[in-house]
Amino acid sequence: MSKTNASQHQPIAVVGMACIFPKAKDLDGFWQVIRMGVDTISEVPDTHWRPEDYFDSDQKAPDKTYCQRGGFIDTVGFDPTEFSLPPTVLEATDTSQLLGLVVAKAALEDAGYTPEREFDKDKTSIILGVTGCLELVIPLGARLGHPYWRKALLESGVDPATADEVMERIADDYVPWQENSFPGLLGNVVAGRIANRLDLHGTNCVVDAACASTLSAAHLAMMELQTGKADVVVTGGADTFNDIFMYMCFSKTPALSPSGKIRPFDAESDGTLIGEGIGMVVLKRLDAAERDGDRIYCVLKGMGTSSDGSQKAVYAPYSPGQARALRRAYEAAGVDPTTIEMVEAHGTGTKVGDVVEFEALKGVYSEAGEGKQWCALGSVKSQIGHTKAAAGAAGMIKAALALYHKVLPPTINVSAPNPKLGIEESPFYLNTEARPWLSNSAHPRRAALSSFGFGGSNFHTVLEEHNPAKTMPSWDNSLELVAYSAATRAELIAHLESELKANHELARAAHTSRQNFRADHHCRLVLVVEAGKFSERLKEAKEKLEAGKNPDFYGEGPAPGPVAFLFPGQGSQYVGMARELACIFPEMLESLQAMGEPIPQKIYPIPTFSKADQKLQQAELTSTDMAQPALGAISLGMYRILERFGLSPEFTGGHSYGELVALHAAGVFDQDALVELSRLRGSLMANLGDDLGTMLAVTGPLDKVEAALKEAKLDLKLANRNSPTQGVLSGSKEEIAKAAPIMKEAGFSVIALQVAAAFHSPLVAGARGPFRDGINPIKFKKANLPVYANMTAKPYPAGEKKAKDLLADQLVNDVHFVAQIEKMHADGARVFVEVGPKRVLSRLVPAILGDKEHVAVALDASQGKKRALVDLARALAELAALGLPVNLTAWEKEPKQARLKRMEIPINGANYRGPRKPIPPRPKKAVVQTVSQSVDGSRQTVGAPKAPAVTAKVAPAPAPPAPAPAPARASAVDRKVFQDAFQSVQSTLSAMQAMAQQTAEAHQRFLEGQEQAQRTFQKMVEGQQSLVAQMMGATPGQTVDGSRKMVVAQAAPVAPAVPRVVPAPVAKPVPVAAPKPVAAPKPVVAPKPAPAGDKVAQTILAVVAEKTGYPVDMLNLGMDLEADLGIDSIKRVEILAAVEEAVPGLPRIEPEQMGSLRTLAEIVEKLGASAP
CA atoms within 13 A on the CB side of 324: 14
Instruction: Please give the C-alpha separations between residue 412 and each of 35, 298, 382, 408, in angstroms, as whole numbers.
Output: 11, 24, 6, 13
> SS3 of 1040, please?
coil
Residues 6+ apart with CB under 8 A from 177: 140, 143
> SS3 of 565, please?
strand
Q: Is the dihedral of CA 711, 716, 720, 722 positive or negative?
A: negative
| 375 has catalytic annotation | no
Can you tell me the distance from the alpha carbon of 60 to that of 41, in angstroms, rounded to the nearest whole number? Answer: 24
Distance from the Cα of residue 1127 to its chain's centroid: 35
- 1025-1032 vs 972-998: helix crossing angle, rounded to 10: 110
Pairing status of strand 446-453 against strand 457-464: antiparallel
Can you tell me the distance from the alpha carbon of 710 to that of 698, in angstroms, rounded to the nearest whole number? Answer: 15
- For the chain, helix, strand, coil in percent to 5 are 40, 15, 45
Of 19, 48, 67, 211, catalytic:
211
Of 19, 67, 298, 346, catalytic:
346
Q: Is the dihedral of CA 904, 905, 906, 910 positive or negative?
A: negative
Can you tell me the distance from the alpha carbon of 1161 to that of 64, in angstroms, rounded to the nearest whole number? Answer: 55
Instruction: Please give the C-alpha separations between residue 243 and each of 44, 52, 240, 250, 522, in angstroms, as whole numbers.
Output: 9, 14, 9, 11, 57
CA atoms within 13 A on the CB side of 367: 11
| 854 has catalytic annotation | no
Angle 472-899-910 (CA atoms, 0-180°, nearest 5)? 95
Distance from the Cα of residue 197 to its chain's centroid: 27
Instruction: Please give the C-alpha separations between residue 301 and each of 8, 339, 391, in angstroms, as whole numbers.
Output: 11, 13, 20
Distance from the Cα of residue 471 to its chain's centroid: 25
Q: Phi and psi (nearest 5°) for 953?
A: -75, 130
Q: Do residues 525 and 492 touch, judged by C-beta distance below 8 A?
A: yes
Can you tell me the distance from the alpha carbon of 70 to that of 910, in angstroms, rounded to the nearest whole number? Answer: 13
> SS3 of 852, please?
coil
Q: Do residues 815 and 546 touch, judged by C-beta distance below 8 A?
A: no
Pairing status of strand 446-453 against strand 523-530: unpaired
Q: Do residues 595 and 633 touch, judged by C-beta distance below 8 A?
A: yes
Angle 693-694-697 (CA atoms, 0-180°, nearest 5)? 150
CA atoms within 13 A on the CB side of 1081: 7
The burial of 801, by beta-carbon neighbours within 10 Å (0-12 exposed, 13-18 middle, 19 or more buried), is given as: exposed
Q: Do residues 702 and 727 touch, judged by C-beta distance below 8 A?
A: yes
Phi/psi class of residue 715: alpha, beta or left (left: φ > 0; alpha: ψ in -120 to 50)? beta
CA atoms within 13 A on the CB side of 686: 17
> SS3 of 1095, please?
helix
SS3 of 200-221: CCCCEEEECECECHHHHHHHHH
Of 48, 219, 386, 816, catalytic:
386
Q: Which DSSP symbol is given to 633? A: H
Q: Do residues 958 and 1053 touch, judged by C-beta distance below 8 A?
A: yes
Q: Do residues 100 and 189 touch, judged by C-beta distance below 8 A?
A: no
| 386 has catalytic annotation | yes
Can you tell me the distance from the alpha carbon of 271 to that of 254, in angstroms, rounded to the nearest whole number? Answer: 9
Catalytically annotated residues = 211, 346, 386
